[in-house]
Amino acid sequence: MQLTKAWEACKAEKRIEGFSPHTLNAYRLQANLLVRHFKDIKPQSVTTQGIKDYLALSSEGLKPSSLAHRVRFIRSFFRWLYEEGHITTNPAAKITEPKVGKRIPKFLTEREIEHLREGCHTPMEKALFEFMFSTGCRIGEIVSLDKDCINVGNRSAIVRGKGDKEREVYLIADVIFG
């Protein structure tokens, strides 16, 4: 089995396990880069040193967070190959992720928030803005929000976020319930 066939088999299993399409797409990109570097060789031919050389070469243009993502993919892929019996030793077992510093979230100033509020012209725009602002929901969470998941009594809603995980958010804006 070559790397490309191994990746297709791995991808099918990850899809069955419930990996999101976004994760699978990101992994597909990493798999393509891996195959481009090593050519379409047998996974058994990949060595720990080969992986380290690949990561060192590719790290020149990457942020630490992007390199960490690449390492996570490689570790996951080779762990799968090992657990499925396609390789006898896991060359990625001792590869570690680079340290990634904590990022401080960016936030809007009061002036920027007021400019956004002033840009809302219809009651619907105002309600959507206040909903996003008061709950911290992502746009995708709001778009997929079912009206049955809104509890007017306690001013809360159940939203489905990343990884299909549900969470409860609380609405504090009077514009919504007026």
Check if the beta carbon of residue 171 is closer than 8 Å to that of residue 156.
yes
pLDDT at 142: 85
Give the residue-averaged pLDDT of 67-89: 94
Which residues on adjacent β-strands are paired with residue 151?
156
pLDDT at 48: 95
pLDDT at 118: 92
Distance of CA 119 to the CA centre of its chain: 31
Check if the beta carbon of residue 99 is closer than 8 Å to that of residue 67.
no
Check if the beta carbon of residue 100 is closer than 8 Å to that of residue 70.
no
Say whether pLDDT at 47 is over 80: yes
Average pLDDT value over all residues in the chain: 88
Please tell me the distance from the alpha carbon of residue 17 to that of residue 86, in angstroms, as a whole number.
19
pLDDT at 173: 57
pLDDT at 62: 85
Give the residue-averaged pLDDT of 47-60: 92
- Structure token pair of residue 74: 């490689």
Say whether pLDDT at 175 is over 60: no
If you search the block for the tokens 């007021």, which residue do you land on?
114
- CA distances (Å), 152 to each of 41, 90, 149, 159, in order? 59, 53, 10, 14
